[in-house]
C-alpha cells in the first residue's frame, strides 16, 4: 500500500540473535523494504555483532529500542530503563556505528517514571547524538517502569508533543521523528510542520487501509503501487491488497511451512469500518479453516452467506 513508508521490525533482542535462530528472526520479504531492524540490548559488543548481522541480511537501518517499558525488558537491563544511562546508550550506538554503514537510530520516550523534565530527554539526546546517532524517534510520553502494564504505558502517561518540537528546535541538525497517539492525516501534516517525520504504530495496525493514502499525501507520489493494483477508476482496492496477502501466505507456507492464520491475523483491520467487515474478520480468524488453502479462505471471506450455509 506504500512504497515509501519506512517499516520497523518488532524488537529483536541481542540474545535471540546470538543464541537463537538468526534466519527465523531476520528473514523478510523484499517488498517490506525500506525496512529497519529494531534491536533490544545493552551490551555494546553484542549490539555491534547484531547490527552487523542486520546489515548483512539487508536491513536499511538499525534501531536501538530505548522505549519499551515491560518488566521482562527491564530485567534484561534494556528498553526504556536505558534512558537513565545515556552514556551507556552512547557507547552502544558508537559500537554499532563503527561496524555498519547503514544509519543507526534510537527510539525512546521523553522520560521515565513520573519525573517530568524536558532537561532529562534533552540531555539524553545530546549525549547520544555525540556518539553518531542523527535520528531519534520520540514517543512523546514518559515510560512508567513500575505500576503500569506495557499496554497502559501506551495510553496513560500524558502526551507532550511540544517536547519533541523543542528537541527539533534545540537540535536542528538532528532528524526528530514523533510517535504517539496519532490517528489522522491532518494530525500527521500538523506534526510535520514541527518535526522531520512521524511514526505510526497502533493506528497503522488497526486501520491499515490508511497506508494506501500515504504515498500521495506525504511523498507526492500519485502513481499506484502496481498496474494490477487498480480498479477501473484507477484506485487501489482492498480486494487487490487482500489478494497480494493471499499470494504471500501461499509462498510462505510453501517455503517455510507457515500456516496462513499467523499472517492473516495481522490484516484483520483491512476492511475496518466497511459493511461486512465483521464477517470478513470472522472468516480470516477462524482457526478451524487452517487446513484450507488461503485462496479458498478468501473466497469464503467474500461470501457473506458462508456461515448461514
Q: Which residues contact 189 (CB under 8 A, 6 or more apart)?
A: 217
Question: What torsion, rounded to 10 degrees, do the Cα atoms 135, 98, 50, 55 define?
Answer: 70
pLDDT of residue 266 exceeding 60, the answer is: yes
pLDDT of residue 124 exceeding 60, the answer is: yes
Q: What is the mean pLDDT of the chain?
A: 92
pLDDT of residue 302 exceeding 70, the answer is: yes
Residue 308 is predicted with a pLDDT of: 77
Residue 280 is predicted with a pLDDT of: 97
Pairing of strands 35-40, 7-13: parallel
Whole-prediction pTM value? 0.92
Q: Encode pLDDT of 190-212 as tens digits.
A: 999 999 999 999 999 999 999 99
Taking the alpha carbons of 5, 205, 184, 175 in that order, is the dihedral positive or negative?
A: negative
Exactly one of 50, 66, 68, 81 is catalytic; name it: 68
Question: What torsion, rounded to 10 degrees, do the Cα atoms 179, 145, 152, 263 define?
Answer: 70
**Which domains are present in the chain?**
7-211 (3.20.20.70), 238-302 (1.20.120)
**pLDDT band, residue 270 (cuts 50/70/90):** very high
Say which residue, 74 or 57, is predicted with more confidence.
Answer: 57
50 catalytic residue (yes or no):
no
How many angstroms from the chain centroid is the CA of residue 251? 23
Residue 305 is predicted with a pLDDT of: 84
> Residue 179 belongs to what H/E stretch?
strand 175-179
Contact, 233 vs 21, CB < 8 A? Answer: no
Residue 76 is predicted with a pLDDT of: 66
Burial category of 28 from C-beta neighbours within 10 Å (exposed 0-12, middle 13-18, buried 19 and up): middle
Q: Encode pLDDT of 161-174 as tens digits.
A: 999 999 999 999 99
Tell me the mean pLDDT in the region 73-96: 88
Q: Which of 271, 103, 245 is nearest to 177 (CA)?
A: 103
Amino acid at each position: 500500500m506504500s512504497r515509501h513508508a519506512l517499516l520497523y521490525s518488532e524488537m529483536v533482542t541481542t540474545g535471540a540473535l546470538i543464541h537463537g535462530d538468526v534466519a527465523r528472526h531476520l528473514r523478510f520479504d523484499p517488498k517490506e523494504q525500506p525496512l529497519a531492524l529494531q534491536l533490544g540490548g545493552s551490551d555494546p559488543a553484542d549490539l555491534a555483532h547484531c547490527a552487523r548481522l542486520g546489515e548483512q541480511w539487508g536491513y536499511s537501518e538499525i534501531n536501538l529500542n530505548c522505549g519499551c517499558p515491560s518488566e521482562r525488558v527491564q530485567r534484561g537491563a534494556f528498553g526504556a530503563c536505558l534512558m537513565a544511562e545515556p552514556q551507556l546508550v552512547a557507547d552502544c550506538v558508537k559500537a554499532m556505528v563503527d561496524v555498519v554503514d547503514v544509519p543507526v537510530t534510537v527510539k525512546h520516550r521523553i522520560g521515565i517514571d513520573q519525573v517530568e523534565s524536558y532537561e532529562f530527554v534533552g540531555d539524553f539526546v545530546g549525549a547520544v547524538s555525540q556518539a553518531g546517532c542523527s535520528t531519534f524517534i520520540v514517543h512523546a510520553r514518559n515510560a512508567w517502569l513500575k505500576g503500569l502494564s506495557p499496554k497502559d504505558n501506551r495510553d496513560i502517561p500524558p502526551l507532550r508533543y511540544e517536547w519533541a518540537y523543542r528537541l527539533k528546535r534545540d537540535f536542528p541538525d538532528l532528524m526528530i521523528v514523533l510517535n504517539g497517539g496519532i490517528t489522522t492525516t491532518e494530525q500527521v501534516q500538523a506534526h510535520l510542520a514541527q518535526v522531520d517525520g512521524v511514526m505510526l504504530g497502533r493506528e497503522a495496525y488497526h486501520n491499515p487501509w490508511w497506508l494506501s493514502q500515504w504515498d500521495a499525501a506525504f511523498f507526492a507520489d500519485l502513481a499506484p503501487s502496481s498496474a494490477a493494483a487498480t480498479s477501473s477508476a484507477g484506485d487501489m482496492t482492498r480486494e487487490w491488497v487482500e489478494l497480494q496477502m493471499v499470494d504471500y501466505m501461499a509462498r510462505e507456507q510453501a517455503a517455510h511451512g507457515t500456516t496462513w492464520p499467523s499472517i492473516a491475523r495481522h490484516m484483520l483491520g483491512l476492511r475496518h469500518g466497511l459493511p461486512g467487515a465483521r464477517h470478513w474478520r470472522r472468516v480470516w480468524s477462524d482457526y478451524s479453516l487452517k487446513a484450507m488453502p488461503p485462496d479458498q479462505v478468501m473466497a469464503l471471506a467474500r461470501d457473506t452467506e458462508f456461515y448461514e450455509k
